[in-house]
């Protein structure tokens, strides 16, 4: 998943990641999840705002 950008000089956020049965998936995908498969979705926070110094 693409990282969110920061605003007003803030740092970008982290990228999210998606996994199916432990295998990392591409950023954009359409798929069917079958019974007993595990879909893990990691969603970090957004980008920063302003200069951190």
With CA atoms as reference, report the closest residue to 6 among 46, 40, 53: 46
What does the pLDDT look like over 1-53, one tens digit per residue?
677 888 998 988 888 899 999 999 998 899 999 999 999 999 888 888 898 77
- Say what the pLDDT of residue 18 is: 94
- Say what the pLDDT of residue 46 is: 86
- Say what the pLDDT of residue 41 is: 94
- Say what the pLDDT of residue 1 is: 63
- Say what the pLDDT of residue 51 is: 84
């Amino acid at each position: 998943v693409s990282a969110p950008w920061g605003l007003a000089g803030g740092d970008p956020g982290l990228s999210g990641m998606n996994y199916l049965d432990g295998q990392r998936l591409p950023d954009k995908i359409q798929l069917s999840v079958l019974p007993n498969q595990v879909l893990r979705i990691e969603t970090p926070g957004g980008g920063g705002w302003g200069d951190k110094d």
